Amino acid sequence: MDSCKSDIILHLLASMISPAWVSTLLVILLPSHISLHFNTSPWKPSTAVRDFATIVDEAMVIFDSHKYVLRRSGFQRRLQLLRLESHTLYQTLRVADRTLSWSDRPSWLRYISMMKNILKDALEGQREVKVLKRDMEDIILADEGETLRLEVEITLDPADSRAEVSAVPHASALSYQVSPV
Cα separation of 116 and 124, whole Å?
Answer: 12
Percent of the chain with pLDDT over 70: 61
Give the end-to-end CA distance of the chain in Å, rounded to a whole number: 77
Domain chopping of the chain, boundaries = 41-153
Question: How confident is residue 94, by pLDDT bands cut at 50, 70 and 90?
Answer: very high
Q: What gap in Å lies between CA 93 and CA 67, rounded to an integer?
A: 33
In the three-class reduction of DSSP (H, G, I as helix; E, B as strand; rest coil), residue 104 is classed as coil
Q: What is the pLDDT of residue 10?
A: 64
Q: What is the pLDDT of residues 10-68, one digit of tens each?
A: 666 666 655 565 556 566 666 655 555 555 556 788 899 999 999 999 999 999 999 88
What is the reported pLDDT for 118?
94
| SS3 readout for the chain | CHHHHHHHHHHHHHHHHCCHHHHHHHHHHHHHHHHHHHHCHHHCHHHHHHHHHHHHHHHHHHHHHCHHHHCCCCHHHHHHHHHHHHHHHHHHHHHHHHHCCCCCHHHHHHHHHHHHHHHHHHHHHHHHHHHHHHHHHHHHHHHHHHHHHHHCCCCCCHHHHCEEEECCCCCCCCCCEEEEC
Least confident of 10-14, 16-20, 121-125, 161-165: 161-165
Closest Cα to residue 115, out of 47, 35, 53, 37?
47
Q: What's the pTM?
A: 0.60
Q: What is the mean predicted confidence (pLDDT) over 159-174?
A: 48
Lowest mean pLDDT among 79-88, 108-117, 135-144, 163-172: 163-172
- 172 — phi, psi (to 5°)? -85, -20
Residue 163 pairs in a beta bridge with 180
Average pLDDT over residues 150-163: 55
> 84 with 62: CB under 8 angstroms?
no
Query: Three-state DSSP class for 180?
Result: strand
Query: For residue 177, what are the β-bridge partners?
Result: 166
- Relative to beta strand 177-180, strand 163-166 is antiparallel
